[in-house]
């Protein structure tokens, strides 16, 4: 296990998650890629390095990370769960043309909660949809 992985292993341990090899690698992928990958994305990437890896392990690990608060599910896609480890508050933009998901800064605490008196709010998400500049350019140049 290399140096950077060592830090992640510690991070897992601090959160009472035994830092097994597959778990460190899943977390590493989430941290390094920052791509809001699906379980499938993660599996396909890691199986090259860990041939014995099973998709169930990826799902188990993601569930564990979410349960312990180290990751969260991003539901911007219609039919699949994506995962995010970023801890600062941000919104998600999904390009309807190329499918890419982009983070953008949002001061989520500024969003008023009138009409939710008496509700306990755990989580606030902001999701935008549209077309990214790259795809807009491609459309303009005749695609």
Partner DNA sequence: CATAAATTTGTAATAATTATAATATTCTAT
Partner DNA sequence: ATAGAATATTATAATTATTACAAATTTATG
69 belongs to the binding site for a second copy (CB under 8 A): no
Residue 98 has φ and ψ, to the nearest 5°, of: -100, -10
106 belongs to the binding site for a second copy (CB under 8 A): yes
Place of tokens 């499918």: 99
How many CA within 13 A on the CB side of residue 30? 24
Question: Which part of the chain contacts a second copy (CB under 8 A), choosing from 9-17, 24-32, 55-63, 112-120?
Answer: 112-120
Cβ atoms of 105 and 90 within 8 Å: the answer is yes
User: By C-beta, is 57 or 92 nearer to DNA?
Assistant: 57
Place of tokens 């077309």: 131
93 belongs to the binding site for a second copy (CB under 8 A): yes
Please report, as ranges, the residues that interact with DNA according to CB under 7 A: 17-18, 20-23, 38-40, 50, 52-57, 59-61, 63, 78-81
């Amino acid at each position: 296990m290399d140096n950077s992985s060592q830090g992640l292993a510690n991070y897992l341990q601090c959160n009472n998650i035994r830092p097994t090899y597959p778990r460190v690698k899943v977390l590493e992928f989430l941290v390094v890629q920052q791509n809001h990958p699906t379980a499938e994305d993660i599996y396909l990437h890691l199986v090259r390095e860990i041939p014995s890896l099973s998709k169930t392990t990826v799902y188990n690990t993601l569930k564990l990370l979410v349960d312990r608060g180290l990751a969260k599910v991003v539901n911007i896609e219609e039919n699949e769960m994506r995962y995010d480890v970023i801890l600062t508050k941000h919104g998600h933009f999904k390009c309807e043309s190329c499918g890419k998901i982009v983070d953008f800064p949002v001061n989520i605490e500024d969003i008023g909660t009138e009409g939710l008196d008496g509700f306990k709010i755990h989580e606030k998400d902001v999701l935008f949809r549209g077309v990214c500049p790259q795809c807009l350019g491609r459309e303009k140049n005749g695609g």
